[in-house]
Structure 1
Amino acid sequence: MTDIVVIVAVAKNNAIGKDNDIPWHIREDFEHFKEKTSGFPCIMGDKTYESLPDNSKPLPNRENIVLTFDKEYKPEGTTVFHDFNEAIEYVKGKNIEKAFIIGGATIYRLGMRVADVFELTSIDHDYDADTFFPEVNFDEWELINREDKEGMDVKNKINVKFSFLTYRRKKNG
């Protein structure tokens, strides 16, 4: 059975973006994202896809699944869906271990309803942002792995503490 995995880096104030970009650049987090998602489908909204650096579009070694309302939108090298549930059914129909939901905010909100696993990079710093991750009811999730780290946010030239946290949705009953 295919696990649906939400993967996200979130600041202390729930920030995830500003001006369609990530407000920080922490090398270890980018490496973590690449290591986790490589080889697996990644579901994202069209704005998230457009925000990727040109040299990373489409994300290499992953099927890039882009959700959009624009019926004419079809970036080269991507699979396009116009309905979130159809994209989820598509990846669940593949014989694969997991598929990732990588943003943005609207896609995350939908994704957290269906996710089996939640890969959270929790950054111990507040950032100026215009896009935020939805509130999470952690009673629904069991922490199964935690790695505490410290590294440089090269965009803001500050040292930050962060944690890689893996949660699995608790079984009902």
Structure 2
Amino acid sequence: MITMIAAAAENKALGKDNQLIWHLPNDFKRFKSLTTGHHIIMGRKTFESFPKPLPNRTHVIITRQSDYQAEGCIVVDSIEKAIEKCPENEESFIIGGGEIYRLAMPYSDKIELTVVHHVFDADAFFPEINPDDWQLTHTDFQTKDEKHLYDYSFETYVRKQKTPQ
């Protein structure tokens, strides 16, 4: 199963200048609990935004740079090849950035989205979720507090089954 996991603002903003725009500790905890022990697929810029590889996860990096190397990581040049490197009977996660989410949308079975209830200036965006293709199956609203400057919601979408014509 391929799951996209992201945090995006109400205007679909993901980040600016290869950085997150907000700090939501509970979102980080959720990301860690869902992705630990799994393959995570990301673009090169997303990988390079980390201070070091994320522990207890297999990193699959997509890049057009044919000589790119990252110690202990799998490097490929397409979303299709990235998915092929993941175990078939396990959940694998697409973790960004914006272009990788767009490329992965047709291959994904589930979306775990944190919606930050604010609008931000950004240069990377999450693709539109087409309601003809996706069903919202769970939502959990969280109120801002001393550690979270914005209200946010955890949302889970699953791909709708295609009905025969």
Find 2:105's aligned residue among 94, 101, 112: 112
Give the AA of the match of 2:63. T
Question: 1:164: which partner in 2?
Answer: 154
1:6-155 aligned at under 5 Å gives the runs 6-52=4-50, 54=51, 57-91=52-86, 94-152=87-145
SS class of match (2:96):
coil
What is the CA distance between 1:143 and its match in structure 2? 1.7
CA distance in 2, matches of 1:21, 1:76: 22
Mean Cα displacement is larger for which, 22-31 or 139-148? 139-148
% same residue? 44
What is the CA distance between 1:90 and its match in structure 2? 2.0
What is the CA distance between 1:95 and its match in structure 2? 4.9
What is the CA distance between 1:138 and its match in structure 2? 2.1
After superposition, the CA RMSD in angstroms is 1.5
CA distance in 2, matches of 1:144, 1:133: 19
Point out where structure 1 has 5 or more consecutive residues left out of the alignment.
none
TM-score normalized by structure 2?
A: 0.93
SS class of match (1:139):
coil
What is the CA distance between 1:151 and its match in structure 2? 3.3
TM-score normalized by structure 1?
A: 0.89
More helix by share: 1
Give the AA of the match of 1:74. Q
Give the AA of the match of 1:128. D
TM-aligned CA distance change 1:153 to 1:166, over 3 Å = farther
TM-aligned CA distance change 1:161 to 1:76, over 3 Å = same
